[in-house]
Amino acid sequence: MVQTKTEKQNSPDTIHVMPLEFYGVNPEEKQTKIETRIVEKIVTKPGKPFPKKRNKAMTVVVVFSLLIIICLLSYLVYLNYADTTSNSTIIEVPVVENPKPIVDIPIVEQPDEPVVPIIPIVPVMIKLADIHDADADADGLTDAEELLINTDMNKPDTDADSYLDGDELLNLYTPLEVGEKLEFSDLVATFVNPNYDYDVFYPKAWFARAVERDNREVVFTSPTGEFVNILVVQNESLQDLKQWYLSQDSEADIAQLVDFDNKQGVKGIISPDGFRYYFSKANQVYVVSYNIGLKQKASYPNLFALIAQSFIFTE
């Protein structure tokens, strides 16, 4: 079936070509050749895709647009961050000076214990009269003393004059001879202190020496190590002996101080424990002390008493 020119043009399969007259040759033949050639060209030549140049331009436009959008978004994000930073609140941390540590002290419950009353400890005074060494014949002299002065430790009255050995010695008589003064016997020696103006008897078997050159302190030492010393101390305010004693020992009981008159007529006092005798003259106090060292018993209490009984001022 032959299609009219109009039908060809309206057909969906029609390929529009130039009018035959355009070619200038036999229209029918030429038309056929041309159509054939065009058809062949169309059939043999593959269809071109979307022009490359156009695709590249579109891609560039799209990419460029995306870049602009990204830049705008980044800028907006930056502005938002900057605004947040500028408006952020600065929290000031309070400065605490020298904070005190909090220490939890554990509460320890104390067990109930019976209340024990506190009893003050009162030092027990050791009295010389209570620590005399053994006295076998009960004549007042210890066995050690009788051994030292050659009396009979088993005979209370060695010279048989009716006076006990102990009584004779403390009255400055020898218990070895009837009616003989001690100072003329061989039992004692006299220590003369010219610096402090006194004399005393001391057992000849003892050793006498001055601690200081001026004889302010003198020591008489027994063979057992016990010793008697005489020390001169100052009493510038010329106090009475008992007042002076209290000034040295404020806790002393003045009622316990014993008045003493020795066999030379010198007045003094005896300490409550019996270990010290005190004499005074002018602004000086003479202290006669007995020291038993580490011993528990006093071997020579009567010889100590003899020294005190014989003490006499020479001026």
Which of 193/222 has CB closer to Ca ion?
A: 222
Which of 136/246 has CB closer to Ca ion?
A: 136
Nearest approach in angstroms of CB 147 to Ca ion is 10
| C-beta separation of 231 from 224 below 8 A | no
Which of 175/203 has CB closer to Ca ion?
A: 175
Which of 139/226 has CB closer to Ca ion?
A: 139
Which of 161/197 has CB closer to Ca ion?
A: 161
Nearest approach in angstroms of CB 168 to Ca ion is 5
**Using CB under 5 A, which residues numbered 151 to 210 contact Ca ion?**
157, 159, 161, 163, 175
Map residues 278-307 to x or -, x wherever contact with Ca ion holds by CB under 5 A.
------------------------------
Which of 156/268 has CB closer to Ca ion?
A: 156
**Using CB under 5 A, which residues numbered 122 to 151 contact Ca ion?**
135, 137, 139, 141
Nearest approach in angstroms of CB 115 to Ca ion is 53
Nearest approach in angstroms of CB 185 to Ca ion is 13
Nearest approach in angstroms of CB 186 to Ca ion is 17
Under rule CB under 5 A, how many of the chain's residues touch Ca ion? 9
Please give the Cα distance from 16 to 77 (Å, whole number). 58
Nearest approach in angstroms of CB 207 to Ca ion is 24
Nearest approach in angstroms of CB 315 to Ca ion is 34
Which of 3/171 has CB closer to Ca ion?
A: 171
Per-residue H/E/C for the chain? CCCCHHHHHHCCCCCCCCCHHHHCCCHHHHHHHHHHHHHHHHHHCCCCCCCHHHHHHHHHHHHHHHHHHHHHHHHHHHHHHHHHHHCCCCCCCCCCCCCCCCCCCCCCCCCCCCCCCCCCCCCCCCCHHHCECCCCCCCCCCHHHHHHHCCCCCCCCCCCCCCCHHHHHHCCECCCCCCCEHHHCCCEEEEEECCCCEEEEEECCCEEEECCCCCCEEEEECCCCCEEEEEEEECCCCCCHHHHHHHHCCCCCHHHCEEEECCCCCEEEECCCCCEEEEEECCEEEEEEEECCCCCCECCHHHHHHHHHHCEECC
Please give the Cα distance from 38 to 32 (Å, whole number). 10
Tell me the pairing of strands 227-234 and 284-291: antiparallel
Nearest approach in angstroms of CB 162 to Ca ion is 7
| C-beta separation of 239 from 233 below 8 A | no
Amino acid at position 67, single letter: L
**Using CB under 5 A, which residues numbered 233 to 262 contact Ca ion?**
none
Which of 22/184 has CB closer to Ca ion?
A: 184
Residue 227 touches Ca ion, criterion: CB under 5 A: no
**Using CB under 5 A, which residues numbered 17 to 56 contact Ca ion?**
none
Q: Which residues bind Ca ion (CB under 5 A)?
A: 135, 137, 139, 141, 157, 159, 161, 163, 175
